[in-house]
Amino acid sequence: MIARRTDYPWLLLDIRSSKTKECKHTKEAVPDLNPRLTTKLLQLNRSKLRTVVGMITGHCPLNKHLSILGITDSPLCRACMETEETPIHVMLQCNGVAEQRAAHLGSSATLHEALGDLGGLLSFWSELGWLE
């Protein structure tokens, strides 16, 4: 059973209205409350959900996040070595994975658009193997 929104008032907290620079990836990925995306996410198994949440928040084993945690020395993208390796860079901009991105994600212009096809998103990351 899916709870009604009013059952958990804390779910109504909206990070998008925050004037701070926090939650940058989340704000770009989910600019509005999205019941359809929520329903799709709740249907995923725990492993797949963790992957998608990592893409939304930026808290995933990509070099930018790992360098912040002190686990890796460089935040640069392992495919192109041109800019920081973030979910946004890999899924939308990196020339080093352009072929895989086109095959699985098409021509998404925003992270929000990429999240519209969870199957394509998950198969893209699975083929890259960077999140294992």
Give me the percent of the chain exceeding a pLDDT of 90.
48
Higher pLDDT, 3 or 95: 95
Show Cβ contacts of residue 120 under 8 Å, excluding neighbours closer than 6 positions.
Answer: 104, 105, 106, 114
Q: Is residue 79 part of a domain?
A: yes
Rounded CA gap, 109 and 91, in Å? 9
Determine contact, residues 50/76, Cβ cutoff 8 Å.
no
Total number of domains in the chain? 1
Q: Does some domain include residue 115? A: yes
76 DSSP β-pair partners:
84
Give the mean pLDDT of the chain: 82
Give dist(CA 90, CA 101) in Å, integer: 8
Instruction: Give the amino acid at 130.
Output: W
Residue 98 belongs to domain spanning = 61-132
d(CA 9, CA 90): 35
